[in-house]
Amino acid sequence: MKVLVTVKRVVDYNVKVRVKPDGSDVDIANVKMSMNPFDEIAVEEAVRLKEKGVATEIVVITCGTVASQDVLRTAFAMGADRGILVESAEALQPLAVAKVLKAVFDKEQPQLVIMGKQAIDDDSNQTGQMFAALAGLPQATFASKLDINGGSAQVTREVDGGLQTIAVTLPAVVTTDLRLNEPRYVTLPNIMKAKKKEIETIPAAGLGLNLVPRLRLVKVADPPGRSAGVKVDSVDVLIDKLKNEAKVI
């Protein structure tokens, strides 16, 4: 079984992001970049399927500039077999990425597509659902457990009311939640081996797709600072402030 996994290069989750002085975007100059954490979980799950003998090949794909090759190399070090870079100088929005994935899916014909539920830079949580719709595939989002049984996948989903277990026929799209697994530590020998694996580069403009952005970023601003707290002398004063000032009760 061939598994296709999507990965994205984002600002490392340990970095405190800064807004550009003109408020046009987030400043990523000289900032540490890494693989989106939810995508790490997706790669780890694909590697575990391969270790179980369920998957035979893992193909990872990313969209972006040449610099995005580093997240493909990280996926190689974790255990992925092949990488595809859809090269684009412009940042692609969720619908554009979904269209690109549909083109690659038609070419690769994987039996399973595993994606992070969202990227931590835009938090859109849209690409997996859009891609599934465009490709006409069943989808299981927010997965916390995945089992492959022949031609179907049993997925436990994290929903507002708790957990929901569903079965989807393959090929299908699964998006990963935090509790699906814990990604492995990438060792130095595997990092060195990853450098030898080839990456197929496909120009986004050559796919013949309409990738024009549908949304325009108007402004980015820091969240307002929190006001200082106050100490109260009694419960009655606390209740009065919560009721009349904070208006939360």
Domain ranges of the chain: 2-244
Residue type, 183: P
What is the rounded average pLDDT of the residues 185-196? Answer: 92
Residue 176 bridge partners (DSSP)? 116, 143
- Greatest C-alpha distance within the chain: 69
Q: How far apart are CA 196 and CA 40, in angstroms?
A: 21
What is the rounded average pLDDT of the residues 240-247? Answer: 88
What confidence category does residue 5 fall into, taking pLDDT thresholds of 50, 70 and 90? very high
Are 140 and 32 spatial neighbours (Cβ–Cβ below 8 Å)?
no
- Residue 249 pLDDT exceeds 90: no
Report the pLDDT value the prediction gives residue 248, as an integer from 0 to 100. Answer: 86
Report the pLDDT value the prediction gives residue 225, as an integer from 0 to 100. Answer: 83
Comparing CA positions, the residue from 161, 177, 46 lying closest to residue 114 is 46
Report the pLDDT value the prediction gives residue 48, as an integer from 0 to 100. Answer: 97
Q: How far apart are CA 180 and CA 142, in angstroms?
A: 9
Q: How far apart are CA 31 and CA 162, in angstroms?
A: 37
What confidence category does residue 166 fall into, taking pLDDT thresholds of 50, 70 and 90? very high
**Domain 2-244 homologous superfamily, CATH:** HUPs (3.40.50.620)
- Residue 75 pLDDT exceeds 90: yes
What is the rounded average pLDDT of the residues 71-87? Answer: 96
Q: Looking up tokens 């496909």, which residue turns up?
A: 202
pLDDT, tens digit (0-9, with 9 covering 90-100), for 8-44: 999 999 998 889 989 888 888 889 999 999 999 999 9
Report the pLDDT value the prediction gives residue 245, as an integer from 0 to 100. Answer: 86
Contacts of 53 (CB under 8 A, 6+ apart): none
Rg (CA), the chain: 21
Residue 162 Ramachandran class (φ > 0 left, ψ -120 to 50 alpha, else beta): left
Straight-line distance from the first to the last Cα atom of the chain, in angstroms, rounded to the nearest whole number: 56
The pLDDT mean for the chain works out to 93
Helix axes 127-135, 94-108, angle to 10 degrees: 50
Q: How far apart are CA 190 and CA 184, in angstroms?
A: 12
What is the rounded average pLDDT of the residues 223-239? Answer: 87
Report the pLDDT value the prediction gives residue 192, as an integer from 0 to 100. Answer: 93
Question: Encoding tokens for residue 160?
Answer: 């507002």
Are 113 and 172 spatial neighbours (Cβ–Cβ below 8 Å)?
yes
Q: How far apart are CA 118 and CA 129, in angstroms?
A: 11
Report the pLDDT value the prediction gives residue 222, as an integer from 0 to 100. Answer: 87
What is the rounded average pLDDT of the residues 102-111? Answer: 96
What is the rounded average pLDDT of the residues 81-108? Answer: 95
Question: Encoding tokens for residue 64?
Answer: 């972006």
Comparing CA positions, the residue from 41, 60, 63, 86 lying closest to residue 2 is 60
Is this prediction's pTM over 0.75? yes
